[in-house]
Structure 1
Amino acid sequence: MKISHYFELEDHVTGGISESVAHQRAMLDQLGLQYTTEPTLEADVFHCNLMGPRSVWYARRARSKGIPVVANTHVTAEDFGDSFRFTNALAKPLKPYLRWAYGLADALVCPSEYNQGLIEGYTDTPTTVISNGVDRGKLEGFDSLEAEYRDRYDLESPTVFLVGHVIKRKGLETFVELARRLPDMDFAWFGPLDLSLKGRETTQLIENAPENCTFTGFIDDIRGAYAAGDIFCFPTHEENEGIALLEAMAAGKPVLVRDIETFSWLEDGADCLKASGDGVAPFVDALERLRDPALRDRLGSNAADRSEAFSLEAVANQYQSLYTAVTP
């Protein structure tokens, strides 16, 4: 079996989608499946990760030749807004486009049950839930970097942290306000700023953040974030899954999330804390509880155990089964 595993705009798209594609290819390597990263119809399966115009063109050609098309549903109109400049304006027309584009596939891969529920409102194309997974090997040795990264960004324990692109949708306003409400705790957001791509409100939130709130920008070794951070705080308003969350769990960090449907699989008080209700107060209360090292250790240990089900080794066979199911 040969797979055309195509990621349109691969040189330009970063963040969770890029990480997911890297994980998929690592899993294909584990499975010993032959694949090319070029779009081609000389394959048994055409698998696309971003339904741009070139992917759509190949998908239509593939179907006309009887080659099954698999597509990942990384992008939804729901999570497109409050990301970068102009994304709010594009979110509304994006939905009918995605309905059409995803409808060209023979099978859709959804990273979570929440995402699957959204996509089933777009198209009747069959869906399968397969996690983006977590590359545990990428985190090996992270704890050895603690002193270096705490010193680099002047962080003291317990540091509240987040990893990923700094965008409003991921709870930027809440993160900054938490730092303002808890001035004796350090807050650090590790990830690209890309201020030229941000709207005015996002830029102002970053520039007017209190002194105990650090935005590191891109860092060369992401392990440093998990080394320097103590409490992974993820106040995102909309998420398809959250690879950084899985990484934090794999690193044994206690996690605090907004109580949204995406995270329904997490158990409040067992492998995370959830902030329910309006405003920033529930997050403040949870962080006050997480000052307790014993609670942090218990939640972090449980999170690490829970993350094992999302390892690339655990997820890989689901792709093998999907490819087998769609090929004649």
Structure 2
Amino acid sequence: MKVLLYFEGQKLIANSGIGHAMHHQMKALAANDVEYTLDPNDDYDVLHINTYGINSWKVIRDAKRKHKPVIYHAHSTEEDFRNSFIGSNLIAPLYRRYLVSLYRQADVLITPTPYSKKLIAGYGLKQPIYPISNGIELVKYEPKLEKEQAFRTHFNLDDDTKVVISVGLLFARKGIVDFVEIARLNPEIKFIWFGHINLAAIPANIRRIVKEDHSDNVIFPGYITGDVIEGAYSGANAFLFPSYEETEGIVVLEALASQQNVLVRDIPVYDGWLFNGQNVLKANDVASFNQQLQRALTTDMSTIVQAGYQTATDRDLKVVGAQLKQVYEQVLLDKTQLGK
């Protein structure tokens, strides 16, 4: 069995969640001895497609012409498109119709969580939908002193300076407004938001926040990779992710794998796998986030942190790869039986 993992515009999506998903899928399949290719001109048995552009349509049509089973990875929903780019709310219903037109081409859909499965099923799609985590590369986020030192050196942070981080695109949906407001309440703590997007593509109020309308203890360093960001995940004092809508949240898994204090908004995507006071802390608004942050910074969180790490372990890429392999084998079997 050979799988075509198709990601359109690989360079353009490299820094996005889908870009991370590409590398995760490659490693997950390799860990389970599943042969794959990224080249649509190669021979393959199953198409596992992840993107939404014109070339993605062409690859799907070619797979159908060759009677290859098509698996669509439903990373996107109308809900997580809203409150992102300028005009996103206006065109969100059109975006949903476009997604549905693509997803209908598939024999099977994969989506990261039961919550996103429920959303996709609500679009009227009838194919089997499998919730499979995007997964996490545990070893990459193992806390290491030298990485944590690289993080503190990069930002000229004293050893006793408390730091709260977040990671994500500079979208209102990600909770950036709340992040900055929480920072205003804690001038003695450094707040660092890792992530980048062309500022011309986002609403004016978010541009102002990033450029000037934030307190002096907030830093927007852009997109950073390697030891600095990995050291930040484990070396900060808390990971604050006030996003209003996710299909899973790869950065949450990264923070859990880093054995960090993790604070998230109490939204449906986390139901059934993230539990307030057990493996994360949850909040709903600036006041409750601030209250939970004080708890994370002043009490023993070791039991919660270890439970969070176990949650990440359950989503290790080898586990995810085994689940993907099962779906590939099933869709091939179904296609074979249908052809008899």
TM value normalised by structure 1: 0.94
How far residue 280 of structure 1 moved from its aligned partner, in angstroms, is: 1.2
1:225 is aligned to 232
| 2:163 matches 1:151 | no
How far residue 112 of structure 1 moved from its aligned partner, in angstroms, is: 0.5
Counterpart Cα distance in 2 of 1:142 and 1:87: 40
8 Å contact from structure 1 (residues 253, 299) kept in 2: no
Structure 1 residues 114-125: aligned runs within 5 Å: 114-122=115-123, 123-125=125-127
Counterpart Cα distance in 2 of 1:109 and 1:208: 40
Question: Aligned letter for 1:280?
Answer: V
For 1:43, what is the secondary structure of its paired residue? coil
How far residue 157 of structure 1 moved from its aligned partner, in angstroms, is: 4.0
Structure 1 residues 235-274: aligned runs within 5 Å: 235-264=242-271, 265-274=273-282
Counterpart Cα distance in 2 of 1:147 and 1:129: 37
For 2:183, what is the secondary structure of its paired residue? helix
1:134 is aligned to 136
For 2:164, what is the secondary structure of its paired residue? strand
Which consecutive unaligned segments of at least 5 residues does structure 2 have?
none
Counterpart Cα distance in 2 of 1:125 and 1:244: 29
Structure 1 residues 286-297: aligned runs within 5 Å: 286-295=292-301, 297=302
Residue from 281, 298, 304 that aligns with 2:303 = 298
**Structure 1 residues 240, 70: closer, same or farther in 2, change over 3 A?**
same
Counterpart Cα distance in 1 of 2:119 and 2:169: 23
8 Å contact from structure 1 (residues 163, 189) kept in 2: yes
Counterpart Cα distance in 1 of 2:65 and 2:101: 16
For 1:9, what is the secondary structure of its paired residue? coil
Structure 1 vs Structure 2 CA RMSD: 1.7
How far residue 193 of structure 1 moved from its aligned partner, in angstroms, is: 4.5
2:190 is aligned to 186
| 2:207 matches 1:203 | yes
Structure 1 residues 11-50: aligned runs within 5 Å: 11-13=11-13, 14-40=15-41, 42-50=43-51
How far residue 226 of structure 1 moved from its aligned partner, in angstroms, is: 1.2
Residue from 173, 176, 179 that aligns with 1:172 = 176
Of stretches 36-45 and 300-309 in structure 1, the one that deviates more from structure 2 is 36-45
Counterpart Cα distance in 2 of 1:294 and 1:260: 25
Counterpart Cα distance in 1 of 2:243 and 2:97: 25
Question: Aligned letter for 1:62?
Answer: A
8 Å contact from structure 2 (residues 149, 231) kept in 1: no
8 Å contact from structure 1 (residues 112, 129) kept in 2: yes
Counterpart Cα distance in 2 of 1:75 and 1:142: 33
Question: Aligned letter for 1:232?
Answer: F
For 1:35, what is the secondary structure of its paired residue? strand
8 Å contact from structure 1 (residues 41, 67) kept in 2: no
The superposition leaves residues 17-41 of structure 1 with CA deviations (integer Å, 9 ceiling, x where unpaired) of 1101110011111222222102247
1:61 is aligned to 62
Counterpart Cα distance in 1 of 2:139 and 2:179: 29
The superposition leaves residues 102-151 of structure 1 with CA deviations (integer Å, 9 ceiling, x where unpaired) of 00000111100111001101211210011000011222454322233223
For 1:20, what is the secondary structure of its paired residue? helix
8 Å contact from structure 1 (residues 149, 225) kept in 2: yes
How far residue 323 of structure 1 moved from its aligned partner, in angstroms, is: 0.5
Counterpart Cα distance in 1 of 2:204 and 2:178: 17
**Structure 1 residues 252, 262: closer, same or farther in 2, change over 3 A?**
same
Which consecutive unaligned segments of at least 5 residues does structure 1 have?
none
For 1:38, what is the secondary structure of its paired residue? coil
Question: Aligned letter for 1:272?
Answer: V
| 2:7 matches 1:7 | yes
What is the aligned length? 325
The superposition leaves residues 226-273 of structure 1 with CA deviations (integer Å, 9 ceiling, x where unpaired) of 144221111000000011100110110011110000111211111111
Residue from 282, 288, 291 that aligns with 1:285 = 291
The superposition leaves residues 201-243 of structure 1 with CA deviations (integer Å, 9 ceiling, x where unpaired) of 1111112110111111122323132144221111000000011
Counterpart Cα distance in 1 of 2:315 and 2:298: 28
TM value normalised by structure 2: 0.90
Counterpart Cα distance in 2 of 1:307 and 1:176: 28
For 1:290, what is the secondary structure of its paired residue? helix
**Structure 1 residues 40, 120: closer, same or farther in 2, change over 3 A?**
farther
